[in-house]
Structure 1
């Protein structure tokens, strides 16, 4: 069942002793069937209350809370809003109250404008990817081998190709990436798994909070970078990635960035598969538009390469 912000404030008061709500506001969340509201207490405390609207949402919330609890013992604790209390729901399950993230949601345009903020996000991502595997597995997150992840990408791309959804140049490029054995020879690490503008907060020029850990797993660290490499200007992403590498205690995989770029492209095939599975024509059209854009980019790269080759040949002939 769904609840408005006033009902959520009442749940927060029941979960946190002494809390007297004086102001509420609904908060957007990428999770389906999860009602979230911000609550300001009489004493000035700022909190967030999370109430699942279905059994599936309740399972995701519990997974999120287990990971959150595990991360409070890692260097990420400074960007993990702590859990303050719970309250049982009449229909089953429970709502949870956490401290509100400091600052405001971090938008891509914020990263584009600020090198310091981009570097801060790079440092936080490095800390995510260095969470010890035992801590992640103690929280019950799933672990995936490189072979299993590679097989998922291959199956998705081949399904799109067999369905006639990919232009020849895109299909050839993606198959070439999948055949590059070195690209997929990596060590799985703890990852957030669903980074977005809704899951990140900023305060000034630093990342102040990371939330929504229900999709976290031990998998490919390139997955957390794919969204950013596809969305940011190259110069700004390079600054983020430089800070990421500086924060890591060991060197990165030599093909990490190439794999992040590949995963950003493969995400289009995943989006298309989702549209086809749900028979959502808007999603299908959106995915096909992105595939057409990639096809056009590849055609332009081919033309540029042909022009460079021609100029080199002409220079040699003139010499």
Structure 2
């Protein structure tokens, strides 16, 4: 059952003692079956109300709550907005009222222009990846081995190879990456699983909140870095990654960045398969466009490598 922002405000008033709503604002979310609104009380308190509109949304919301609760005793507690109350819904499940995150949603342009913000995000991601395994298991998150994750990528590639959507050079690159034993010899760690602009807030040049832990799992730490390496310029990513390494208690995998780059490319593969599975030609066309961009990049790299090789041979001949 969907609820508008006024209904959500009423739920907030019922769950939070003394809260008298005076203003509401709907908040867009990637999940169509989750209704979310910001509510401001007459005492200027600000809360966020989340109400599932389907059983699946309720399951995701409950997992988010379990994981967030398990992290309240970790160094991440400062970026997890506290839950203030719940309201049972007539159709089943419950709505959640949490303190509104400080600051505003992260914008990539803002991140790209700020060394301090990039370093703050790098440190936060490192703290996520150092959450003890027992805390993750206490929250009931799924756990994957490195070979299982590699096998998932291989299975997706084999599916795509059975279509006519992959240029030979792209297919060969992905096959080469997956055949690299050392690249996939890593220790799985706790990850957020859906690191994106929608789930991050910032204030005063730092990350102030991390939301939506429903995709959290024990998996490849490179997955939380993949979207950043593919969107930030190299200098800004290097600053973020330097702060990430400084925050870690032990050294990161020597090829973590390389694997993050690979996962960024495999995300395009997943997008293509999603489009094919759902019969959505718009998604398929979008994915094919990104694959063609990668194909052109690989062709350019091949030309540059050939030129360097030729120049080297010419230099040897002149000697």
Aligned residue for 2:2?
2
Query: Residue 166 of structure 1: SS of its match in structure 2?
Result: coil
Aligned to 1:207: 207
Spell out, residue by residue over 1:112-147, the C-alpha distance to the aligned partner (whole angstroms, 9 max, x if none).
Answer: 110000000000000000001100110110000111
SS, match of residue 230 in structure 2 = helix
> 8 Å contact 1:28–1:198 — kept in the other structure?
no
User: What is aligned with 2:109?
Assistant: 109
Q: Distance in 2 between matches of 1:317 and 1:111?
A: 49
Structure 2 partner of 1:87: 87
* Structure 2 runs not aligned, ≥5 long: none
* Residue 142 (structure 2) pairs with residue 142 (structure 1): yes
Find runs of 4+ consecutive structure 1 residues off by over 3 angstroms.
Answer: none
CA distances 1:22-46 after superposition (whole Å, capped 9, x unpaired): 1111112222310111111111111
Deviation at 1:49, TM superposition (A): 0.3
Measure how far apart 1:315 and its partner are.
1.6
Q: Which SS does the other structure have where 1:49 is aligned? A: strand
Q: For residue 243 of structure 2, what is the aligned residue in structure 1? A: 243
Equivalent residue number for residue 186 of structure 2: 186
TM-score, normalised with respect to structure 2 = 0.99
Following TM superposition, by how much is the alpha carbon of 1:311 offset from its aligned partner in structure 2, in angstroms? 1.2
Match of 1:220 in 2: 220
Q: 2:269 maps to which residue?
A: 269
1:288 aligns with 2:277: no
Q: How far, CA to CA, are the matches of 1:19 and 1:122 in structure 2?
A: 36
Residue ranges of structure 1 left out of the alignment (5+ in a row): none
Compute the displacement of 1:11 (Å): 0.7
Matches of 1:70 and 1:119, distance apart in 2: 25
How far the C-alpha of 1:91 sits from its partner, in A, is: 1.1
Q: Which residue does the alignment assign to 1:19?
A: 19
CA contact (8 A) 1:40 1:47 kept: yes
Q: Distance in 2 between matches of 1:147 and 1:165?
A: 26
**RMSD of aligned residue pairs (Cα, Å):** 0.7
What is the CA deviation profile of residues 176-227 of structure 1, one whole-angstrom value per residue up to 9, with x for unaligned ones?
0000001111101000000111100000210000001000000000000000
Equivalent residue number for residue 118 of structure 2: 118
Separation (CA, whole Å) in 1 of partners of 2:28 and 2:161: 36
User: Counterpart of 2:256?
Assistant: 256
